[in-house]
Amino acid sequence: MITVKLLAVLKEYAPNNGYVELEYSQGMTVADALSATEVSKTNHKYSTLVNGRKREAGDVLEDGDTVTVMPLLAGG
């Protein structure tokens, strides 16, 4: 099982208050997991973590991983 956790304003792009549970399949990538949400279709910039470590869209997941998606913040 893969858990996708969307934080802050991104929560609205997942059906269960920011969480999506996915069936794991071998070779599944971060991008595959994000495609189960609407976040990739937005204009929001975001960073992805897998089990608390920065990861990119093409990185392969393992069964039991948690993908956390955080919006990037800007300020001055």
Per the domain annotation, does 12 fall within a domain?
yes
* Backbone dihedral angles phi then psi of residue 68, each to the nearest 5 degrees: -105, 130
Q: Do the Cβ atoms of 59 and 51 come closer than 8 Å?
A: no
Per the domain annotation, does 56 fall within a domain?
yes
Per the domain annotation, does 52 fall within a domain?
yes
- Give the Cα separation of 50 and 30 in Å (integer): 8
Res 46: pLDDT: 92
pTM of the model: 0.90
Per the domain annotation, does 76 fall within a domain?
no
Residue located via tokens 């960073």: 47
pLDDT tens for residues 7-59? 999 998 887 888 999 999 999 999 999 988 888 788 889 999 999 999 999 99
Per the domain annotation, does 8 fall within a domain?
yes
| Domain harbouring 34, CATH code | 3.10.20.30
Q: Do the Cβ atoms of 3 and 20 come closer than 8 Å?
A: yes
Segments in the chain forming alpha helices (H): 30-34
